[in-house]
C-alpha cells in the first residue's frame, strides 16, 4: 500500500508541545502517512524531520511582565509564522498548546484563507474557568486533540470537532523496584525510612511562596525529604530550605542536558511514601508512579480573589477530576495551612492511602494506559480530519 502523502505545518512553543508534536509526527508515520512537515518546533520535532522556522524557545514567555518587553518581537513572529504557513502549501495548520501565540497565528491564517483546516492539540481548560475561551477558539480552530477524556463535549458544544487522544504521561517510563533500591542506596536512605517527596513548583514565584508553608508543615517529621528541582532554581531552593529540619536532599540536573536526571527523578517519585506537591500536572506523574500525594497551593490575594469567582470545579487536581473521585486531599488558598497539611501527611505515612491508589489506577486507565500511544491516536485523528 502506497503511503498517503501528508503536508503539515506545525507550531509548538514550549518543550511539552515539542514532545507532543514529535509524537504526532512519529504516529503519522506509524499510521501509514508520508509526512512533509514544516513550521516551528524544538529538538524533539527536529529529530522527526522538522526544520524550525526560528528557535522555538523565543515563544516560551509567560506573564505580563515577561511578555511586554518582547511584545513587538512576538507580534513579528506571529505574522512571520502565519505567512510561512500561507506560503508553504501545507494542507493543514496544526498548533500545539501555547494558545496565546498559536491561536493568533490561526486567526491570521483563517482570515487570509478561510478554507484552511486548523487543528489545535491540547484543549484549553474551559471546564475549570473562562468557558468563553472555547467559543472564541472555535472561530479559528476546526478540530481539537484533547488530552483528557472529559474535554470533547466542551469543545463540541463550542462548535469544534474533538477527539480524546490520550495523555503523554501514560507512555512515560516508570521506575522499577531495583531503580528504587538503587536510588535509596545512592542517597543514604534506609529501606525502612519513610521518604517524603517535596514538589513546590517549577517557577521561582511558586517556590518562594510555598517553601515557608511546606517547611513548616514538614518541620520535625520522622522521614527523609527529597526535593527535585531545575538548574535555574537550585540556588533559590537551597536558600529557602536552609532552615528546614529535616533538610531535604536537593535533586537537580547537572546542566540543562543531564541525560541521567529523568531516571533519577522517576526513581525518587517511585521511592517516596508520599508527596507534598504544588497543584499542576505533576499529580499525573505521581499517579503514574502510584505515589500518594497531598496537593497544596497558595497565591497572592488578588489572584485568590479572581480565581475564587472564576473557577467552576470543586477540585483542581487532575487525578480527582479524571477518576471522578475526591481521593487526593487539597489545601488551596486560605486552606493552605501547615497544621492541616501536616495532619494529612502523617495520616498517609501511617498507611491511609488506599483510596488514592484506586483513583490513580482509574486515572491512568482513563488516560489511555494499555491502549495505542497518544501520538498514534492523535495521528489517526488528524488523518480522519484531512480525509473529510
The CATH classification number of 4-166+369-386 equals 3.40.50.2000
pLDDT of residue 61: 55
| Cα–Cα–Cα angle for 37, 95, 253, rounded to 5 degrees | 90
Domain 177-366 fold: Rossmann fold (3.40.50)
The pLDDT value given to residue 62: 46
pLDDT of residue 63: 44
User: How many C-beta neighbours within 10 Å does residue 225 have?
Assistant: 23
Question: What SS3 state is found at 164?
Answer: strand
Cite the DSSP H helix spans in 145-196.
152-157, 177-186
Residues 6 or more apart in contact with residue 258 via CB below 8 angstroms: none
Grid coordinates of 373: 500511544
Position 15 scores a pLDDT of: 87
Residue 215 CA to residue 219 CA, distance in Å, equals 6
Question: Can you give the pLDDT at residue 256?
Answer: 63
- Cα 223 from Cα 354, distance rounded (Å): 20
The whole-number pLDDT of residue 148 equals 97
CA-nearest of 69, 93, 96, 97 to 82 is 93
Domain 4-166+369-386 matches domain 177-366 at the CATH topology level: yes
Tell me the C-alpha distance between 91 and 386, whole Å. Answer: 8
Q: How many CA atoms lie within 13 A of 302 on its CB side?
A: 0
The count of other CB atoms within 10 Å of the CB of residue 245 is: 10
Helix 99-112, helix 71-88: angle, nearest 10: 50
Grid cell at residue 386: 484531512
Distance CA 368, CA 381 (A): 15
Closest CA to 24 of 387, 377, 366, 385: 377
Here the cell at position 144 is: 481539537
Beta strands in 278-360 (DSSP E): 293-297, 330-332
The three-state secondary structure class of 161 is strand
What ranges do the domains of the chain cover? 4-166+369-386, 177-366
Nine-digit cell string for 263: 531516571
CA–CA separation, 330 vs 315, rounded Å?
Answer: 8
Q: How far apart are CA 381 and CA 48, in angstroms?
A: 19
pLDDT by 10s per residue, the chain, length 388: 567 899 999 999 888 999 999 999 999 999 999 999 999 999 999 999 999 999 887 776 544 445 566 778 889 999 999 999 999 999 999 999 999 899 999 999 999 999 999 999 999 988 777 888 999 999 999 999 999 999 999 999 999 999 999 999 999 999 999 999 999 999 999 999 999 999 999 888 899 999 999 999 999 999 999 999 988 899 999 999 999 999 999 999 886 667 889 999 999 999 999 999 999 899 999 999 999 999 999 877 676 667 677 677 889 999 999 999 999 999 998 999 999 999 999 999 999 989 999 999 999 999 999 999 999 999 999 999 999 8
Q: Would you give the DSSP letter of residue 335?
A: G
Residue 181 has a pLDDT of 97
Biggest CA pair distance of the chain: 66
- Provide the b/e sequence for 152-166 (b: ≥16 CB within 10 Å): bebbeebebbbbbbb
Amino acid at each position: 500500500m502506497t503511503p498517503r502523502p501528508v503536508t503539515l505545518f506545525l507550531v509548538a512553543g514550549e518543550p511539552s508541545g515539542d514532545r507532543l508534536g514529535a509524537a504526532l509526527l512519529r504516529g503519522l508515520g506509524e499510521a501509514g502517512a508520508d509526512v512533509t512537515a514544516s513550521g516551528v518546533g524544538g529538538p524533539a520535532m527536529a529529530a522527526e524531520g522538522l526544520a524550525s522556522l526560528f528557535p522555538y524557545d523565543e515563544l516560551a514567555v509567560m506573564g505580563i511582565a515577561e511578555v511586554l518587553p518582547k511584545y513587538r518581537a512576538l507580534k513579528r513572529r506571529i505574522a512571520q509564522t502565519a505567512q510561512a504557513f500561507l506560503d508553504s502549501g501545507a494542507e493543514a495548520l496544526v498548533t500545539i498548546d501555547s494558545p496565546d501565540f498559536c491561536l493568533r497565528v490561526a486567526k491570521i491564517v483563517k482570515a487570509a484563507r478561510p478554507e484552511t483546516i486548523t487543528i489545535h492539540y491540547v484543549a484549553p481548560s474551559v471546564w475549570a474557568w473562562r468557558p468563553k475561551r472555547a467559543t472564541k477558539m472555535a472561530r479559528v480552530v476546526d478540530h481539537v486533540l484533547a488530552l483528557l477524556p472529559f474535554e470533547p463535549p466542551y469543545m463540541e458544544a463550542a462548535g469544534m470537532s474533538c477527539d480524546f487522544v490520550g495523555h503523554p504521561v501514560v507512555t512515560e517510563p516508570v521506575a522499577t523496584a531495583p531503580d528504587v533500591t538503587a536510588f535509596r542506596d545512592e542517597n543514604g536512605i534506609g529501606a525502612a525510612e519513610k521518604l517524603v517527596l517535596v514538589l513546590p513548583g517549577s517557577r521561582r514565584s511558586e517556590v518562594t511562596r510555598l517553601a515557608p508553608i511546606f517547611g513548616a508543615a514538614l518541620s520535625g517529621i520522622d522521614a527523609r525529604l527529597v526535593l527535585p528541582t531545575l538548574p535555574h532554581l537550585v540556588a533559590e531552593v537551597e536558600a529557602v530550605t536552609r532552615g528546614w529540619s529535616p533538610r531535604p536532599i536537593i535533586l537537580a540536573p547537572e546542566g540543562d542536558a543531564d541525560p541521567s536526571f529523568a531516571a533519577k527523578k522517576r526513581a525518587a517519585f517511585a521511592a517516596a511514601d508520599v508527596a507534598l506537591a504544588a497543584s499542576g500536572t505533576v499529580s499525573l506523574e505521581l499517579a503514574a508512579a502510584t505515589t500518594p500525594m497531598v496537593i497544596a497551593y497558595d497565591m497572592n490575594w488578588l489572584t485568590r480573589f479572581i480565581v475564587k469567582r472564576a473557577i467552576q470545579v470543586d477540585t483542581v487536581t487532575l487525578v480527582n477530576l479524571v477518576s471522578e473521585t475526591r481521593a487526593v486531599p487539597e489545601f488551596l488558598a486560605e486552606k493552605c495551612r501547615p497544621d492541616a497539611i501536616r495532619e494529612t501527611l502523617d495520616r498517609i505515612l501511617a498507611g491511609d492511602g488506599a483510596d488514592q491508589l484506586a483513583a490513580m489506577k482509574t486515572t491512568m486507565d482513563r488516560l489511555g494506559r494499555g491502549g495505542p500511544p497518544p501520538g498514534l491516536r492523535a495521528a489517526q485523528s488528524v488523518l480522519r480530519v484531512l480525509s473529510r
